[in-house]
C-alpha cells in the first residue's frame, strides 16, 4: 500500500510515524512544500492550490499511484479537503486532521487549545469548541512562532515559544490540545514546561487509524518493516530534511 502525506513541512512527521508503527509494510510518500511554506498565513485559495499540488506530485511518483491521501495539517484540512476530495475520491480516500478537542473535553476540563495565531482566530476552531466543548472552560492559546521554531529545530527558539504559550495557559487546565501537528514533535518539552500537570491530546494516532480504516486495512504493527519512504520537496525528489532527524518521529521513519 502507498500512502501520501501532504503538508508544508515536517509537521507531518508524527502522523507518518504513527502510520509506520501501525503498518510497517506501508510505503509512505512525504510531500512537503519548502518553496511555499508556511501555509498558515496564505489565502485559502493559495492553500488549496498548494495542497492539490502536493497530492498530485505524490500520486505521480513511480509506482502504482497512491491508495490514500492524508493531510496532517489543520490549515490544509480546513481549506483544502473539499478540493482534494473532489479530485481524488471516491477512488482514493482523503483523510484530514481535526484538533482533538472532543476527547480532551470529555474529562470535564478546563482545557487549553494550543494552535497557530491564524487558527486561534478562525471560525473553524471556534465552531469545534462550541460543538465539542459547550460546557467546558476552554482557553484558546495562540502559540506565536512555535511551528516555525519546530520547523527550524532550534532548541532556543523552541524553548522560547513553549514558554510564551505556557505563560498564556491557565494554571488549572487538565488537558492541552495540540492544535498544530508541528507541536506533536515537542510533546515532551511541552509537558515538562507545563510541569506535567496537564494531559496532552494529539491527532496523529487517530488520523493514522482513520486512514487505515478508509483503505479497509487493519493495523498490523508486528509485520516486517518492508515499507519504503519517498520524500518530495515541492514536487522534487529529496531527502528527509535534517531538521526532521532531530525528532524521534523523524528517525522512526528511517
ω into residue 38 within 30 of 0, thus cis? yes
Strand order in the sheet with 27-32: 94-95, 68-70, 2-6, 27-32, 229-233, 236-238
- β-strand 199-201 against 236-238: which pairing, if any? unpaired
Q: How far apart are CA 8 and CA 24, in angstroms?
A: 24
Q: Which residues are tagged catalytic?
A: 73, 180
List pLDDT tens digits, range 144-165.
Answer: 999 999 999 999 999 999 999 9
> Which residue is it, cell 493559495?
46
**Pair 3, 70: CB distance under 8 Å:** yes
Q: Which fold has domain 101-201?
A: Rossmann fold (3.40.50)
**Pair 79, 49: CB distance under 8 Å:** no
The backbone torsions φ and ψ at residue 228, rounded to the nearest 5 degrees and listed phi first, read -95, 165
- Taking the CA atoms of residue 75, residue 76, residue 80 and residue 82 in that order, the dihedral angle to the nearest 10 degrees is -80
Q: pLDDT over 70 for what percent of the chain?
A: 100
For the chain, where do the domains classified as CATH 3.40.50.1860 start and end?
2-97+204-251, 101-201
Please return the burial class of 242, using the count of CB atoms within 10 Å of its CB with bins 0-12, 13-18 and 19+: exposed
**Pair 78, 39: CB distance under 8 Å:** no
**Pair 185, 10: CB distance under 8 Å:** yes
Report the CATH number of the 2-97+204-251 domain.
3.40.50.1860
**Which pLDDT tens digits describe the chain residue by residue (254 residues)?**
999 999 999 999 999 999 999 999 999 999 999 999 888 778 889 999 999 999 999 999 877 789 999 999 988 998 899 999 999 999 999 999 989 999 999 999 899 999 988 888 888 899 999 999 999 999 999 999 999 999 999 999 999 999 999 999 999 999 999 999 999 999 999 999 999 999 999 999 999 999 999 999 999 999 999 999 999 999 999 999 999 999 999 999 99
Distances (CA, A) of 151 to 77, 218, 244, 247: 19, 32, 8, 11
Distances (CA, A) of 234 to 9, 29, 58, 76, 160: 10, 13, 10, 15, 29
What is the model's pLDDT at position 118?
A: 81
Amino acid at each position: 500500500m502507498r500512502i501520501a502525506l501532504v503538508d508544508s513541512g515536517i509537521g507531518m512527521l508524527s502522523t507518518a510515524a504513527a502510520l509506520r508503527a501501525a503498518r510497517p509494510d506501508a510505503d509512505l510518500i512525504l510531500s512537503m512544500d519548502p518553496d511555499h511554506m508556511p501555509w498558515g498565513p496564505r489565502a485559502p485559495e493559495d492553500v488549496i492550490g498548494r495542497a492539490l499540488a502536493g497530492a498530485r506530485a505524490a500520486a505521480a511518483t513511480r509506482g502504482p499511484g497512491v491508495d490514500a491521501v492524508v493531510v496532517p495539517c489543520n490549515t490544509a484540512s480546513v481549506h483544502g479537503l473539499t478540493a482534494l476530495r473532489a479530485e481524488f475520491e471516491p477512488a482514493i480516500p482523503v483523510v484530514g486532521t481535526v484538533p482533538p478537542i472532543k476527547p480532551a473535553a470529555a474529562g470535564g476540563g478546563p482545557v487549553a487549545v494550543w494552535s497557530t495565531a491564524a487558527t486561534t482566530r478562525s471560525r473553524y476552531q471556534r465552531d469545534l469548541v462550541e460543538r465539542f466543548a459547550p460546557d467546558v472552560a476552554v482557553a484558546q492559546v495562540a502559540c506565536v512562532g512555535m511551528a516555525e521554531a519546530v520547523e527550524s529545530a532550534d532548541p532556543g527558539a523552541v524553548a522560547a515559544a513553549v514558554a510564551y504559550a505556557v505563560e498564556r495557559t491557565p494554571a488549572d487546565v487538565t488537558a492541552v490540545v495540540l492544535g498544530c501537528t508541528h507541536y506533536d514533535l515537542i510533546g515532551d518539552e511541552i509537558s515538562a514546561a507545563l510541569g506535567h500537570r496537564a494531559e496532552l491530546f494529539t491527532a496523529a494516532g487517530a488520523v493514522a487509524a482513520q486512514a487505515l480504516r478508509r483503505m479497509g486495512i487493519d493495523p498490523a504493527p508486528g509485520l516486517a518493516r518492508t515499507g519504503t519512504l519517498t520524500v518530495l520537496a515541492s514536487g522534487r525528489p529529496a531527502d528527509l530534511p535534517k531538521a526532521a532527524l532531530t525528532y524521534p518521529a523523524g528517525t522512526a521513519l528511517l
